[in-house]
Amino acid sequence: MKIDAFHYVQLGTAYRGLQPVPDEEVIDLYGGTQHIPLYQMSGFYGKGPSIKQFMDIFSLPEMALLSCVVDHFLGHSLEFDQAHLYKDVTDAIRDVHVKGLMYQWIEQDMEKYILRGDETFAVLSRLVAHGKQLFLITNSPFSFVDKGMRHMVGPDWRQLFDVVIVQADKPSFFTDRRKPFRKLDEKGSLQWDRITRLEKGKIYRQGNLFDFLRLTEWRGPRVLYFGDHLYSDLADLMLRHGWRTGAIIPELEREIRIINTEQYMHSLTWQQALTGLLERMQTYQDAESRQVLAAWVKERQELRCITKALFNPQFGSIFRTFHNPTYFSRRLVRFSDLYMASLSCLLNYRVDFTFYPRRMPLQHEAPLWMDQLCTGCMKTPFLGDMAHIR
């Protein structure tokens, strides 16, 4: 199911297996409300006592497998314990990753699975040419990183980075002081040297952020770190260490394409206008006015469903419920200074370009919000003209 920033389930997005759960049943399951209590919600790293937040690219196969297995069991009237099923599916996904099977499959067809290689090389080269110091911290093993970077950047990829750390074991890399850095030789074998400095062109394994900070002296907002996982990559760095962070959200490209369509803009514009009309005209309680208001309420709900389906028929946008930000969006803006579809988006800007935050109106600062439509080019009619609308 999909949850908004205030812990409410978006009705119409709850599924058991592959079948939608009726709104009435969802409300009944949570004690007569759509609200998920705080104690059940995800903890700091997205895993609560009874709810897990799926929020990265590895979540897609995990969600698909969970849904299909549950659907199979229900369709064949097989009894099962949900906790056992969840653990088995999660372990299976983890094993594919930890045992290296995923790396093997990707290496067999890099053209299919590794995208934007030329653009990535262009970004990295440009940053180095402007005197930036680059570092790579990844949980992947060196053999996979080396093959992937050679495919994208070329055989001299290590010369672009001042520090390269593999099998870092994020997010514990950012919080656990006990694990020292180990150097790897050219064949990827561990060395026994005590690490007193991090050298360019060398490969290091594991380690921890506290030694990294001590050895590099890269601290605070002078550092901009990009990652594609809000918790494993960005949360600790922003909250504990004051780094600037950039989130890579591939789905953003498609979402922006949709919100720029005429259908979306028309749907949202009229939806906003209806909301303003309903809010202003609800004071009229005669029979004819109530009939008009009821028709507007129905039309507004239909428009909300149409707008949702433009993104995904089951769940809608990953950034919004009908009107609120999603729980994912809330965490995204909390843990990232910037977010983009791909690192290559930086090619659209100068290296010294400054991104300024937008001032968003608070509710008490924008009492006439319903008059300001999403396009910025229309306004709802004045009160005197509202009676003539539709």
Residue 298 carries which side chain, given as an amino acid letter?
K
Least Cα distance to 169 among 161, 179, 157 occurs for: 179
d(CA 337, CA 342): 15
Strand partners, 206: 181
Cis amide bond preceding 381, omega within 30: no
Element (H, E) at 268: helix 262-281
d(CA 112, CA 110): 5
Is 228 labelled as part of a ligand binding site? yes
d(CA 234, CA 192): 31
User: Would you say the C-alpha torsion 314, 335, 152, 207 has a positive or negative sign?
Assistant: negative
d(CA 116, CA 152): 8
Least Cα distance to 373 among 294, 267, 302, 292 occurs for: 267
CB 123 within 8 A of CB 347: yes
d(CA 269, CA 223): 40
Helices (H), 312-348: 327-335
Strand partners, 35: 8
d(CA 62, CA 90): 7
Binding-site sequence positions = 228
Q: Which residues are annotated as a binding site for Mg(2+)?
A: 228
